[in-house]
Chain A
Amino acid sequence: AIQMTQSPSSLSASVGDRVTITCRASQGIRNDLGWYQQKPGKAPKLLIYGASSLQSGVPSRFSGSGSGTDFTLTISSLQPEDFATYYCLQDYNYRWTFGQGTKVEIK
């Protein structure tokens, strides 16, 4: 099974900061990677699919990059509503694996 290693597991940041979260796949997954935001008590929300495509309705401060094994989610200017937990998801060959999650907290 493909393993996803996500880092960091948590981070503290201030409003306006640039935030970067990374995921590394244990084997190449082309660009079959998505990023999700989850707030407490809510279902995950898709932000990015295909490694770099912005889901409809998601603010442009969110962006994704990478291909193969290394991927990045960037929030260009952190907003108060962005404090949440973020997960990467690989769906290579339709079998999913999530990263462990990154909790973004207020500094």
Chain B
Amino acid sequence: GQQLNQSPQSMFIQEGEDVSMNCTSSSIFNTWLWYKQDPGEGPVLLIALYKAGELTSNGRLTAQFGITRKDSFLNISASIPSDVGIYFCAGQLGASGYGGSQGNLIFGKGTKLSVKP
């Protein structure tokens, strides 16, 4: 199946630092979503983006839908210890769908945030 290229795969953060991660694809998406997963739990939706160029914030989190509709990024400002976890991007294709079914989400492999030792 199709996949999104998410980077970096992992990163270490120190409290107070800003964090950036992004996802790219060879396909055009009409929706980009960002999720966070805490250890041992299911992912929780953070931000949803629906228009090219759209910039949306949720507290210290800011995400943008790329102009080309093939990428998205997520920024976390002034990180705190509870920001650790795995962040996933997800995209929804248009009419061409996925696996024959319109509308299924495609997920990146995740960016794992850990605290600097």
A in complex with B: no
